[in-house]
Amino acid sequence: MHKVIPMTNSLDWLTLSMVPGLGLTGYWRLIQTFGGPGAVLQASSAARGKVPGIRAEVLKGLADPEPFRQEAVLELARLHDMGAECLAHDDLRYPDLLRQTFQPPPLLFVQGRLELLGGNAVAMVGSRAATSYGLRIAETLATGLAGAGLLVVSGLAMGIDAAAHQGALQAGGGTIAVLGCGLDVVYPQQNKKLYDQIRADGVLVSEYPLGTRPDAYRFPARNRIIAGLSHGVIVVEAARKSGSLITAEMALDQGREVFAVPGQIDSFKSAGTHWLLQQGAKLVHSLDDILEELSLVARVIENGSEVADDPMADLEPEAAALLAKIEPYAMNRDDLIAISGLSAARVAELLLLFELDGLVEIVPGGGVCRSEYENQRHETQ
C-alpha cells in the first residue's frame, strides 16, 4: 500500500495530462483559455466545448476527470516511492530557460540532484555510432565545460551522448540526461551503469509518466527539451539526416546558439556538422570558442594551475621530427615508420614516451594520432 504524501498543485497539471487524446497544443490552449489546470478541470462542459481545436474524445474525458485524478495520485505516490518528483510548469524549480520556450512540457518528471536544473547548461549531441575521434572530442569538451562550472545536457544515447555525460561526471561536474521514456525505464540497456551514476550525481529528466516505453517517435520530442534546457547546443558528429540536426534546428528555433565540431571531410559521420558550419553554426576549435561565444564564464585554467611545464621542451631532434609527422587523425603505425626513416623498434620506443607525456594517443586497431594537447600547441605555433 502506498504511503500518504502531501499533494501539490502538480496534481492538477498531472490530472489534466492523463486525459486521453489531449496533446501538447490542446493542453496549452486549454491552459491559456482558463488560466490554469484547476480551472480547466472545474469549468463547465459548455465552456470547454467552446475552446477551438479540442477533440470530442478530450471533452468526453474532461466531463468526468475523477478517474484521471486518481491515476495522477497513484503516479505521484510511485514517484515519491522511488525518490523522484513531478515538477509542474508553475513550480519554482522548473527550469527557467525551458519555461521560456514555445509550448514547453507542462510537467517534468525528475530524479537526482534537482538543484542542477537551475544552473547554466550547454547541450552536446551527436552520432550513436561515433568514431574514436568523436568520442574523444566529446569527452574532452564535456570535461572542460564541467571544469568551467557549466552543466552538460544530453540524451543518454550510445556514442556522443554517453561520452558527454561521462566527461562531465569525470570532472566532478553536473550533467542532465533527458530521456525519451519514463524515469524507470533504462534505455539503452548498455548505459545502465551510466544511468545509475547520473541518477546519483546528476539528474534524470523526462516528460513522460513512469513505465513509458522508448518508442521512436518520442525522441524528436525529447530533443526539444535538450535544446530548451541549454544556452547552446554542440554537435560533435552527425550524419546529414540525424536526430542531432533536429536538435540543432530546435535550438535555433528557440534562439539558442549552435556549435559544430569539424571532422574529416570524407567522413559521412561528419557530413551533418559540416552542413551546420556552412549554414553559419559556430565552429568549435577549442573549449574557449564555446565559452567566449556564450560569455557565461571566464576562461578557466585546467586544474586551477598556471600553464604547465611543456613536455616538448626536452625532446631530442629525432623525437621532435617524428612527432611532427604524426597527424591529428589516426594513422597506421607502419605508414609512420615508413615516412620516419627510423626502425620499428625506435618508433615504438618514442611512441611510448609520447603517450606517457600526453603528446599522442593510441587508438583502437593500433593507430596513432596527436593528442588534444599537442593539437592545440601545434596550432598556436
CATH number (domain holding residue 76): 1.10.150
Nearest-angstrom CA–CA distance, 274 and 262: 6
Q: Give the residue among 178, 114, 165, 144 at the shortest CA–CA distance from 296.
A: 144
How many CA atoms, within 13 angstroms, populate the side-chain half-sphere of residue 57?
7
Look up the domain containing 3 and give its range: 1-81
Instruction: Give 237: exposed, middle or buried? Use CB within 10 Å, 0-12, 13-18, 19+.
Output: buried
Instruction: Examine the fold and report which residue of 62, 81, 100 is the final residue of a domain before the chain moves on.
Output: 81
Identify whether residues 193 and 327 lie together within a single domain.
no
Residue 245 covered by a domain:
yes
Query: Taking the model in full, what pTM does it have?
Result: 0.78
Q: What are phi and psi of 121, to 5 degrees?
A: -130, 150
- Residue 122 near residue 151 (C-beta atoms within 8 A): yes
- Beta-strand ranges (E) seen in the chain are 84-88, 107-112, 121-125, 151-154, 175-178, 203-206, 232-235, 257-260, 282-283, 360-362, 368-370
- CATH no. for residue 330? 1.10.10.10
pLDDT given for residue 378 in this prediction: 45
pLDDT given for residue 358 in this prediction: 75
Cβ-based neighbour number of residue 174 at 10 Å: 24
Instruction: Give 299: exposed, middle or buried? Use CB within 10 Å, 0-12, 13-18, 19+.
Output: exposed
Amino acid (one-letter) located at 294: L
Long-range contacts of 160-163 (CB under 8 A, 24+ apart): 160/124, 160/125, 160/126, 160/127, 160/128, 160/130, 160/134, 160/135, 160/236, 160/237, 160/244, 161/124, 161/125, 161/126, 161/128, 162/191, 162/194, 163/130, 163/134, 163/135, 163/136, 163/138, 163/139
Identify whether residues 209 and 349 lie together within a single domain.
no
Instruction: Examine the fold and report which residue of 304, 337, 364 is the final residue of a domain before the chain moves on.
Output: 304
Residue 214 covered by a domain:
yes
107 alpha-carbon distance from chain centroid: 19
As averages over each run of 10 residues, the pLDDT of the chain (381 residues) reads 48 97 97 96 96 96 97 97 97 95 96 95 96 93 94 97 97 97 97 98 98 94 96 94 91 94 89 94 92 65 38 73 84 88 86 79 79 49 41
Nearest-angstrom CA–CA distance, 328 and 316: 21
Is 189 strand, coil or helix?
Answer: helix
Identify whether residues 326 and 264 lie together within a single domain.
no
Question: How far is residue 373 from each of residues 96, 174, 220, 380, measured CA to CA in Å?
Answer: 36, 24, 35, 11
- Residue 326 near residue 369 (C-beta atoms within 8 A): yes
Determine the angle formed by the axes of helices 10-17 and 66-81, rounding to 10 degrees: 120
Instruction: Examine the fold and report which residue of 270, 304, 338 is the final residue of a domain before the chain moves on.
Output: 304
Residue 332 covered by a domain:
yes
pLDDT given for residue 344 in this prediction: 86
Identify whether residues 53 and 132 lie together within a single domain.
no
Question: How far is residue 165 from each of residues 100, 135, 193, 330, 346, measured CA to CA in Å?
Answer: 25, 11, 12, 24, 38
Question: How far is residue 365 from each of residues 326, 333, 337, 353, 369, measured CA to CA in Å?
Answer: 16, 10, 16, 19, 12
Count of domains observed in the chain:
3
Residues in the chain: 381
